[in-house]
Amino acid sequence: MQREPHLSNAALMARRHAAVARGVGQTHEIFVSRASNAEVWDVEGRRYVDFAGGIAVLNTGHCHPQISAAVKAQVDLYSHTCFQVLAYEPYVELAERLNALAPGNFTKKSIFLSTGAEAVENAVKVARAYTRRPGVIAFTGGYHGRTMMTLGLTGKVAPYKLGFGPFPGEVFHALYPNALHGVSVDDALHSVELLFKNDIEPERVAAFILEPVQGEGGFYVAPHDFVAGLRALADRYGILLIADEVQTGAGRTGTWFACEQWPVAPDLITTAKSMAGGFPISGLVGRAEVMDAPAPGGLGGTYAGSPIGCAAALAVLEVFEAEQLLARSRTLGERLTAGLRGIAASEPAIGDVRGLGAMVAIELFEGGDLARPDAALTRNVVAEAARRGLILLSCGTYGNVIRVLVPLTASDLLVDEGLSILAASFAALR
Ligand SMILES: Cc1ncc(COP(=O)(O)O)c(C=O)c1O
């Protein structure tokens, strides 16, 4: 069959809609032709500032030359053996590096998988194997992936869970604290106690799993007293604490793992997305004795911890050191927060500007009334910004949050350009 020339986004979108199932959503009707750091060009030659980073995957930017070079070198050596069949050093080195980075004054071990959902699945497997208990407590508004277990853990029905149940049993949801929407830390901790009373005794709970900052849920930051309260409950009842850092990890929040900023350490941490700068690999790092609970053969996967992913992840760690990206994450966060507060000063719809490090978001309400989340305005701003050359992503339980996940490697100039487009988009919709 003769290929159509790739002329327009519209023509390619028509082919996409005819050939690809509609369940795979589409935020922007744009086909990319190339990308570099925090800029993307579409098939029609239009340039965009990228504030989405492929949903938190590109903390080191598109096509970082050092990461691309590491991947190319790895591909020429060997691209696949399956680690369980023939081992390779990059996997071990990556495990050593992550074990050293993870917080907690105890020995750690790691495994690698391919996707964030797989990392979460394995966290649950490991926690159940160690505790020999079935229950898992997740939180409202949380997002953990699209496999059946991770959908069960996810605390938002539409669109992720619609029509896909039943999900695995013994999963319960407690309240995630959210001061803006009326859920205090006490309410949230009390809701865990209520689960113990109404649904499952604590002695049958293997783990709590939470995001240090909810990603898809709306960039709400878990307060330290909440995390400390959970840790205390976990210690009292022999429950494990899992930090799902698929979105928050790899330097997004100003530290490699967001939970480094917690007053307590989790037992297990999931990681994926930006850990390999655009190449598919995920990981699970945690207490050595917990990680060693499953018997040999119980963990792994054909592509799990692929050599290409490991090489990319090691290169990402080098880039973080060479370019001091953790410090950059903090200064970028300050710049974004100041810029967004500036926009909020003249846009009453923006009811909140929040975040941790460079994981920053704004939340929109009709006329600034915190009782009326404005999903329509959110959609319109995202669309208007794209027309003006800025790629944004929305999120949130009410679909009224705009999140910024611009590469940490983006220049101040480019970040300011993106912020100006956002301001102009709001102004155009007034
Ligand atoms: C916190 C969190 N956990 C798990 C996942 C699932 O990761 P993946 O899409 O790579 O399976 C995501 C993805 O957005 C996430 O944000």
Q: Is residue 4 pLDDT above 70, yes or no?
A: no
Q: Would you say 341 and 404 are in contact if contact means Cβ atoms under 8 Å apart?
A: no
Residue 13 structure tokens? 């979108």
Ligand 1: lining residues by beta carbon, under 6 Å: 55, 115-117, 120, 143-145, 211, 215-216, 244, 246-247, 272
Helices (H) and strands (E) in the chain, counts: 13, 15
Output the CA 15–ligand 1 centroid distance in Å.
28
Q: Which residues, listed in sequence order, are joined to residue 360 by a DSSP beta bridge?
A: 355, 404
Output the CA 422–ligand 1 centroid distance in Å.
26
Output the CA 397–ligand 1 centroid distance in Å.
16
Q: How would you classify residue 325: left for phi > 0, otherwise alpha for psi between -120 and 50, otherwise beta?
A: alpha
Shortest-distance atom of ligand 1 to CA 247: 16
Counting ligand 1 atoms within 8 A of each CB, the residue from 139, 144, 214 with the most, and so the one to mutate, is 144
H or E stretch at 123: helix 116-131
Output the CA 117–ligand 1 centroid distance in Å.
6
User: How many angstroms separate the CA atoms of 406 and 50, rounded?
Assistant: 6
pTM flag (> 0.95): yes
Provide the residue ranges of all domains of the chain, joining segments of one domain with +. Answer: 9-63+324-428, 67-323
Output the CA 293–ligand 1 centroid distance in Å.
24
Q: Which residues, listed in sequence order, are joined to residue 221 by a DSSP beta bridge?
A: 213
Name the burial class of residue 234, with classes exposed (0-12), middle (13-18) and buried (19+) by CB atoms within 10 angstroms of its CB: buried
Q: Would you say 173 and 204 are in contact if contact means Cβ atoms under 8 Å apart?
A: no
User: How many angstroms separate the CA atoms of 61 and 333, rounded?
Assistant: 16
Shortest-distance atom of ligand 1 to CA 115: 10
Query: What is the pLDDT at residue 358?
Result: 98
Residue ID of nearest Cα to ligand 1 atom 10 = 116
Mean pLDDT across the chain, nearest whole number? 97
Identify the CATH class of 67-323: alpha beta
From the centroid of its chain, how far is CA 209? 14
Query: What is the pLDDT at residue 414?
Result: 98
Output the CA 56–ligand 1 centroid distance in Å.
10
H or E stretch at 112: strand 108-113
For the stretch 69-90, pLDDT in tens is: 999 999 999 999 999 999 999 9
User: How many angstroms separate the CA atoms of 174 and 412, rounded?
Assistant: 40
Query: What is the pLDDT at residue 7?
Result: 81
Count of CB atoms situated within 10 Å of the CB of 183? 17
Output the CA 8–ligand 1 centroid distance in Å.
31
Q: For the domain covering 9-63+324-428, report its CATH number.
A: 3.90.1150.10
Hey, what amino acid is at 184? S
For CA atoms 342, 348, 349, 353, give the dihedral sign. Answer: positive
Name the burial class of residue 126, with classes exposed (0-12), middle (13-18) and buried (19+) by CB atoms within 10 angstroms of its CB: buried
Shortest-distance atom of ligand 1 to CA 55: 14
> pLDDT band for position 6 (50/70/90)?
low
Residue range 21-30: mean pLDDT, rounded:
96
Q: Is residue 2 pLDDT above 50, yes or no?
A: no
For the stretch 186-230, pLDDT in tens is: 999 999 999 999 999 999 999 999 999 999 999 999 999 999 999
* b/e burial code for range 45-84 (CB count within 10 A of at least 16 → b): eeebbbbbbbbbbbbbbbebeebbebbeebeeeeeeeebe
Output the CA 244–ligand 1 centroid distance in Å.
9
For CA atoms 32, 35, 40, 46, give the dihedral sign. Answer: negative
User: How many angstroms separate the CA atoms of 41 and 59, rounded?
Assistant: 18
Residue ID of nearest Cα to ligand 1 atom 8 = 116
For the stretch 329-376, pLDDT in tens is: 999 999 999 999 999 999 999 999 999 999 999 999 999 999 999 999
Output the CA 270–ligand 1 centroid distance in Å.
10
Query: What is the pLDDT at residue 29?
Result: 96
Name the burial class of residue 182, with classes exposed (0-12), middle (13-18) and buried (19+) by CB atoms within 10 angstroms of its CB: exposed
Output the CA 143–ligand 1 centroid distance in Å.
7
In CATH terms, are 9-63+324-428 and 67-323 the same topology? no
Shortest-distance atom of ligand 1 to CA 214: 1
Helix pair 375-387, 412-428: axis angle to 10 deg: 120
Counting ligand 1 atoms within 8 A of each CB, the residue from 244, 247, 259 with the most, and so the one to mutate, is 247
Residue ID of nearest Cα to ligand 1 atom 16 = 247
Count of CB atoms situated within 10 Å of the CB of 417? 17
Count of CB atoms situated within 10 Å of the CB of 26? 11
Query: What is the pLDDT at residue 5?
Result: 55
Shortest-distance atom of ligand 1 to CA 244: 1
